[in-house]
Structure 1
Amino acid sequence: MNLVQLLNNLVNNFKEVIYRKDLIKLSSLYNDVKWSDNHRFAQHYQKHFAPLRLKKLKILEIGIGGYDDPKAGGDSLRMWRSYFPNSMIYGIDIVDKKSLESNSIQIFQGSQEDKNFLEKIIAETGKMDIIIVDGSSVNEHRVKTFNILFPLLNDAGIYAEENTHISYWPSLGEKWSSLSEKSVFLSNHVNVGGSIDLNASHTIMAMYKRLTDGLNYQEFLNPGYSPSYLDKHIVAIHFYHNLVITYKGNNNEGSNIIENNTLQPSVLEILGVSSLEELGIKFPEVDLPSRQVMDLTTNIENK
C-alpha cells in the first residue's frame, strides 16, 4: 500500500465515523452500484432504519456483489456494519465470498431459492430482523426467496426487495441463453423472466401488488374467507423506485362494517335485511392475493 492509498484509507475511516448516523452520506464512501445516483436507496433506508440503528439486530443481505470474483464485493455489508454498530451482518451469495468475512460479518455460499439452505442458515443464526434482497435477478427466484424467508423474520421485522425493475424485463430467449453459462452477470440479465406486460402475474412486482390486497383482508366481503399467513402477518408495504419495503407484524385491525368477512348484524339491520343472501350479491371465489404467492411445503404457522 503506497502513501496515497494509506491517506485515502485514513480519510475514509475518519468520514466513516463522522457519517455513521447518516446513511446517505455513509453510502457515498462505498462503491456498490446500489448507492449511485440511479439507485437512490439510501434515502429510503435512512427513513426506515434510523430508529433501529443502535439496536442489536441480525441483518441478512442476499447478493454480495463482485459477480464471479470471490474477492470482489462486500461494500454494502461493510456499510451495514458501520451503520448498525451493535448488529451482526450476514451475507449470502451463489459465489464463495468467504474471504470477505470480518468482524461482525459472516458469509454463506448457496442459492437464494434453495429452501433447505436458507432454513439451515436461519436455524444456525436465529431469525433475522432485517432481510435485504439484492441477489438473483430472476423473478422466479425472488418470489421463492420471499416465500421462504418472510415467515422466518422476527416479528416487527423488515424485508427489503431491491431492483424490482427486473419485473419489466423479459428473458432474451434461446439465442442468448448460452451466454448465461459464461458468468453470473450474464445469467442475471439474460434469464430475468419478467414481462413487458404490466398485468403479468408472475413477476416480483405482481407479487407485491397482490399482497397489498391482503393488508385489507378483514374488509373482504366474502363469507367463509380464511386469511393466509401473509394476510395476517404483513402490516405495511412501502413502494419506491426499484425498491419495496415490507413490514412484518400482526395485521389484526378490525373493520367498521365487516366481521368474519360478512356484514355485521347492525349493518344488515340498517339495510333492512336479516342476511347477506337477501342482498342478492354473488360471491365469486376471491383471487387470494397471498395464497397465490405462498408455496411452502411446511406449516409455517407452527414454526
Structure 2
Amino acid sequence: MSLLTASRNLVDNLSHHVQKTLYRKNLIKLAPLYNHAKWGDTHRFAQHYQKHFAPLSRKKLNILEIGVGGYDDSTSGGDSLRMWKTYFPNSNIYGIDIVEKQGLEEERIKIFKGSQTDEAFLKEVINETGELDIIIDDGCSINEHRIKTFNILFPFLKDGGIYAEENTHISYWPSLGSNWSEKGEKSVYLANCINVGGSIDLNASHTIMAMYKRLADGLNYQEFLNPGYSPSYFDKHIVEVHFYHNLVIVYKGENNEGSNIIENNTLQPHILQELGVNSLEELAIDFTTATSASNKV
C-alpha cells in the first residue's frame, strides 16, 4: 500500500468516526454510515425508528435484534448491532442468528447462535438478557417463523417496550414450491426467499401482516359486541400498533381503558334502555360469525 493510499484511508476513517460522533443522536444520518446498502435511500426505516426511539436513546435498555446480517458468512454482518450501540450508548445490545456470528461481538454487544423459532433457545436467551425493552425482528423471511417468534418473545417485553417487525413485504410473496427446494439448500438467503410462505391473496390469514391487522383490532377488544368474548394476552397488553411501508411497530402496556357503551362485550344497561329493550337478545343480532379469541395470533 502506498503512502498516499494509506493517508487517504486514514483521513476516510477519521472522517467516518467524526460523522458517527456528530450524528449519534440522529438515526437518519447515522444509519447509512454503518451500512448504506441497507440503510440508504431504498431502506426507509431510520426515519420511523428515530421518531419512536429518540426518547429512549439515553436510557439503559436491553435491546435484541434478530438477524445479524451477512447470511452464511460467520465473519460478515453486525452493522445494525454496532449502529444501535452508538445510538443507545448506555444500553446492552444483543443479537440472534442461525449462523455462528460470535466473532463479531464487542463491548456491549453479545450474539447468540440459534433459531428464532426454538422456544427453549429463546427462553435461554431471555434468562441471560433479562426482560427486553426493544425487540427488532430482521431475521428469517418465513412468515410462519416470524409469527412464532412474536408469540414467544412479546410476553418478555417490559411494559412500555417496543416490538419492531421489519420487511413485512414477505406477507405478499408466496413460496415457490418443491421444485426450488434444491436451490434453497445452498444458502440461508435462498431458503428464506423460496420458503417465504406469504400469499398474493391480501385476505390470507396466515401472514405476518394478517397477524398485525388482527392485533390492531385487539386494541378495541373492549368495544367488541360479542358476549362471552375472552380477551387474549395480546388484546390486554398491546396499546399501540404503527404501520409503515415494510415496517410495523408495536408498543406493550396495559390496554384497560374500558368503554362507555360496552361492558363485558355486551351493551351496557343504559344503552339497552335507550334502545327500548331489556336484553341484547331482543336486538336479534347474529353472533355466529364473531371471532373467538386466542392467546396466540
Q: Could you tell me the TM-score, scaled by structure 1's length?
A: 0.94
Percent identity over paired residues: 71
Map residues 91-240 of structure 1 onto 2, 5 A cutoff: 91-240=95-244
How many aligned positions are there? 293
Alignment of 1:23-102 (within 5 A): 23-31=27-35, 33-102=37-106
Find out whether 1:253 has 2:260 as its counterpart. Answer: no
Match of 2:9 in 1: 5
Structure 1 ranges of 4+ moved more than 4 A: 289-292
Q: Give the secondary structure class of the aligned counterpart of 2:169.
A: helix
In 2, Cα distance between equivalents of 1:260 and 1:199: 29
SS, match of residue 28 in structure 1: helix
How far 1:38 moved relative to its partner? Answer: 1.8
Q: Distance in 1 between matches of 2:201 and 2:190?
A: 23
**Pairwise CA distance, 1:290:** 5.0
CA distance in 1, matches of 2:295, 2:289: 13
Give how far 1:223 is off.
1.1
3-state SS, counterpart of residue 91 of structure 1 = strand
On the 8 A contact 1:213/1:289 being kept in 2, the answer is: no
Task: Find the aligned partners of 1:192 and 1:281 in 2 and give their Cα distance.
Answer: 40
Structure 2 residue identity aligned to 1:8: D
Q: What is the identity, as a one-letter code, of the residue corresponding to 1:81?
A: K
1:288 Cα deviation (Å)?
Answer: 3.5
Task: Please give the secondary structure, in 2, of the residue aligned with 1:179.
Answer: helix
Preserved CA contact (<8 Å) 1:214 1:289: no
Query: In the alignment, residue 281 of structure 2 is paired with which amino acid?
Result: E
Distance in structure 2 (CA, Å) of the matches to 1:102 and 1:32: 21
Residue 299 of structure 1: aligned partner: none
SS in 1 for 2:189: helix
Q: Which runs of 5+ in 2 are unaligned?
A: none
Match of 2:18 in 1: 14
Assess if the C-alpha contact under 8 Å between 1:210 and 1:289 holds in 2. Answer: no
Q: Distance in 1 between matches of 2:95 and 2:251?
A: 20
| Alpha-carbon offset, residue 289 of structure 1 | 6.0
Structure 1, unmatched stretches of 5+, are 294-303
**Residues 190-228 of structure 1 deviation map (CA, whole Å, 9 limit, x = unaligned):** 111111111111111111111111110000111111111
Q: Is the contact made by 2:229 and 2:292 (CA closer than 8 Å) also made in structure 1?
A: no
- Given that 2:32 and 2:38 are in contact with CA atoms closer than 8 Å, whether structure 1 keeps it comes out as no
